[in-house]
Amino acid sequence: MTYCLTAHVAGGLIFCSDSRTNAGTDNVSIYSKMHPFCWPGDRFLCLLSAGNLATTQGVVKRMQQDIDQDAATHLLNLASMAEAADYVGLINAEIQRNQANRDTANTNFEATFILGGQIGTETPATYMIYPQGNYIHESSDHPFLQLGEIKYGKPILDRVIRPELSLEAAARCALVSMNSTMRSNVTVGPPVELLIYRTDSLQAGRYLNLAEDDAFYRCIGERWSQGLLRALDDLPHFAWEIPNETACAPDE
């Protein structure tokens, strides 16, 4: 499977994705699922992809082709992130339709995307684009979006990601979310890509490619495990463990 996520905080946008692809239980390979598009000083967009690899590659190729051939509509001349999401949705549906027209086996060609970025002076935005070609923007209370194997990594995002969180803290949180997912699902794998976009910078932002043996990434995983054990120690004890302690005693 895939695991990708974005977080939208006051300081900017976080993009994080894994790189493992598989066909069934083997045929494992490495493909980037992070596709940035940047025109410094004008706009920055980044597409994260999940689903049928032929579809996702087809969509990205079409977007690049529209730019190269200066088509009537492409990422450089769209006026807003919402229009960009609509454009990607249209291409997504079309590529799937084309593949289905060739197919004789009722195959699932679906792909889902997250498109995030900033165009000019508009507020940064992130959108989830569905196989059906429609799309939603992120929640203002829980300003994150996820693709693929989302459940293992969701609780930490639910508890932590808020608009007021610092950009770097949100990035660490994304790496923890990815780490928890990779520990629990072997079809999500390294390298992990991380991109940090600062609001109004209209630049490509910081980019990290973290291989399996990357010292920083391993340090994140180890320190997080240690932090969890400390958090567990700090939990209230049961009444019978400390007979004199009355705070937080369970109603047994």
CB 147 within 8 A of CB 177: no
Q: Are strands 206-210 and 3-9 parallel, antiparallel or unpaired?
A: unpaired
* Alpha-carbon span 252 to 244, nearest angstrom: 15
Q: Which is nearer to a second copy, 7 or 60 (CB)?
A: 7
For every residue of 104-154, which 3-state class applies, written as one string? CCCCCCCEEEEEEEEECCCCCEEEEECCCCCEEECCCCCCEEEEECCCCCH
Supply angle C-alpha 188, 113, 63, rounded to 5. Answer: 120
User: Is position 240 an interface residue for a second copy (rule: CB under 8 A)?
Assistant: yes
User: Is position 248 an interface residue for a second copy (rule: CB under 8 A)?
Assistant: yes
- Amino acid 147 reads L
Stretch of 13-21, 36-44, 113-121, 148-156 lying at the interface with a second copy (CB under 8 A): 148-156
User: Is position 249 an interface residue for a second copy (rule: CB under 8 A)?
Assistant: yes
Stretch of 38-46, 47-55, 119-127, 234-242 lying at the interface with a second copy (CB under 8 A): 234-242
Closest separation in Å from C-beta 148 to a second copy: 12
Site string for a second copy, 196-225 (x = CB under 8 A): ----------x-x-xx--xxxx-xx--xxx
User: Is position 151 an interface residue for a second copy (rule: CB under 8 A)?
Assistant: yes
Q: Return the SS3 of 33.
A: coil
Among 180, 195, 197, 205, binds a second copy (CB under 8 A): 180
Closest separation in Å from C-beta 94 to a second copy: 33
CB 53 within 8 A of CB 95: no
- Provide the binding-site residues for a second copy, judged by CB under 8 A: 151-156, 158-160, 168-169, 171-173, 176, 180-181, 183-184, 206, 208, 210-211, 214-217, 219-220, 223-238, 240-241, 247-252
